[in-house]
Homo-oligomer: A and B are copies of this chain.
């Protein structure tokens, strides 16, 4: 009952199932911002009967409850990030890896400050900063 996955799931009113806990654990351990498909195939090893439906459903519910982030940075597919502290992302066009960009010093004001809840009269709920290019490995 003290496991963080159990607490997190109960917090948002979802039933605690081995599949959901496995998805959460994989997301936390895997820093590569995996896609739903990648998560599915990774979990097949430990949960041979897991299905796409479960993975997609769970990810959607976690994202809706804002327990994970859904990234639109990869043109081909949705990618997921368990990390909730404000940071941005770098996408390598060559290898497809996504790197966290923790240094957001180029943002003048923090996204979470109240003055940024409103831009041009629109109500802003989230700000994502996506950098793209070649990563340190691929640029060689």
Interface residues of A in 1-28 (CB under 8 A from B): none
Chain B residues contacting A121 (CB-CB under 8 Å) are: 136
Is the CB–CB distance between A127 and B131 below 8 Å?
A: yes
Per the bound structure, the CA–CA distance linking A107 and B109 in Å amounts to 8
Classify chain A: how many residues form its interface, as a range.
35 or more
Chain A 91-122 near chain B by CB (<8 Å), digits 1 or 0: 01100000101010111110000001001111
Chain A residues with a Cβ under 8 A of chain B: 70, 72-75, 78, 90, 92-93, 99, 101, 103, 105-109, 116, 119-136, 139
In the A-B complex, the 9 residue pairs with the closest CB atoms: A125-B133, A121-B136, A108-B108, A124-B133, A123-B134, A123-B139, A123-B133, A72-B72, A128-B130
